[in-house]
Amino acid sequence: MTRTAYFDGPLPRILAHRGLAVAAPENSLFAFRDALRLPGVVLETDARATEDGVAVLVHDPQPAGWAAPVARTVLVDVMDHHPGVTTLTAALTSFPEARFNIDVKDGRAAWPVAAAIRSAHAEHRVLITSFREARRRATLRRLPPVATSASGERIALAVAGLRLRSRRLVRAALAGTDAVQIPERLAGLDATTPAVLDLLHSAGVEVHFWVVNDPDRMRELVRRGADGIVTDLPDLAVGALR
């Protein structure tokens, strides 16, 4: 486990899913700016690599309106044709105090993501995650110790331990991670029960649920023991949880 400054601030954590994309495009500097007007919010974002190896904050492999996938588009064309898209470097340097939860969306992005973090000296304020374990590990190998959450493969192993109510198996599955970021149901298992949350916490990880936009549900999950909420509506979350 790596307890960096990413984990500073009070619980529960509010993670702004792609920023606050109500009056601004998701994953844009404007969406991040709007989210950061709220107290104590973490920015959740997605990273892919352009053809020339730059980490840009885009969720889909080929967003609507793009002539080609991100991986086959060079940065200058991204900037010319999609001016709302930002690089990870620009986001980290534009908001030097902000904490970022970075989801590495493709294997080619591992090196560019790590390079952007290092160039911005942002190691202490990022959490690296990815659905695929190989992408997560490839990114972490290029960085000093940083916070990280479990990949999909790690979570699948943890579910086996949860079904058996085995603290040993859950701990083994989540060893070396700092958080799990999960939906409320995992392969048919209700992940929100106090018993499941207790087993996950026994592995020394925080538990963040995504994507939750109903304030009453946010409060209920926190009451049950959730450490964080990933939400499209961080303004409502702040009102409900702060």
Enter the pTM of the model: 0.97
In CATH, 10-241 is 3.40.50.300: no
Which 3 state secondary structure label does DSSP give 86? coil
Neighbouring-strand partners of residue 204? none
User: What pLDDT is stored for residue 216 in this prediction?
Assistant: 98
Nearest to 135 by CA among 105, 159, 180: 105
Condensed to tens digits (0 to 9), the pLDDT of residues 4-33 reads 999 998 999 999 999 999 999 999 999 999
For residues 182 and 88, what is the distance between their CA atoms, to the nearest angstrom?
24
Helices (H) and strands (E) in the chain, counts: 10, 11
The residues assigned a catalytic role are 17, 59
Nearest to 197 by CA among 154, 227, 230: 227
User: What pLDDT is stored for residue 1 in this prediction?
Assistant: 66
Average pLDDT for the chain: 97
Q: Could you tell me the residue ranges of all domains in the chain?
A: 10-241
Condensed to tens digits (0 to 9), the pLDDT of residues 28-64 reads 999 999 999 999 999 999 999 999 999 999 999 999 9
pLDDT at 230 over 70: yes
pLDDT at 152 over 90: yes
Mean pLDDT of 173-198: 97
Condensed to tens digits (0 to 9), the pLDDT of residues 58-93 reads 999 999 999 999 999 999 999 999 999 999 999 999
For 18-154, list the strands marked E by DSSP: 41-49, 55-56, 100-104, 126-129, 147-148
For residues 103 and 202, what is the distance between their CA atoms, to the nearest angstrom?
24
User: What pLDDT is stored for residue 54 in this prediction?
Assistant: 98
For residues 4 and 16, what is the distance between their CA atoms, to the nearest angstrom?
19
Rounded to 10 deg, the angle between the 234-241 and 215-224 helix axes is: 50
User: What pLDDT is stored for residue 242 in this prediction?
Assistant: 87
